[in-house]
Amino acid sequence: MDNIAKDIERVLLSEEEIAARVAEISADITRDYGGKNPLLISVLRGSFIFMADLVRSLPIECTLDFMAVSSYGKKSATTGAVKITKDLDLDIEGRHVIIVEDILDSGLTLSFMMELMSAKRPASIRLCTLLDKPARRQKPIQADYVGFEVPDEFVVGYGLDYADKYRNLPYIGVLKPCIYCKE
Ligand code: 5GP
Ligand code: MG
Ligand code: MG
Assigned domain for 25 exists? yes
Assigned domain for 27 exists? yes
CA distance 38 to 161: 28
Assigned domain for 4 exists? no
User: ipTM for the complex?
Assistant: 0.95
Query: Which one from 53, 102, 105, 132 is the annotated catalytic residue?
Result: 105
Assigned domain for 132 exists? yes
Residue 3's contacts (CB-CB under 8 Å, 6 or more residues apart) are none
CA of 50 to the centre of ligand 2 (A): 11
Residue closest via CA to ligand 1's atom 16 equals: 105
pLDDT digits (tens, 9 = 90+) for 78-109: 555 678 899 999 999 999 999 999 999 999 88
Q: What is the mean pLDDT of residues 43-59?
A: 97
Assigned domain for 11 exists? no
Assigned domain for 183 exists? no
Assigned domain for 3 exists? no
How many domains, the chain? 1
For the domain that residue 131 is a member of, what is the CATH number?
3.40.50.2020
Assigned domain for 5 exists? no
Q: Domain span at residue 59?
A: 16-153
Flag whether the pTM goes above 0.90.
yes
pLDDT higher than threshold 60 for residue 73: no
Of residues 11, 25, 19, 14, the one with CA closest to residue 153:
11
Q: Is 105 known to be catalytic?
A: yes
Ligand 1 residue neighbourhood (C-beta within 6 Å): 46, 71-72, 78, 101-110, 133, 154-156, 160-162
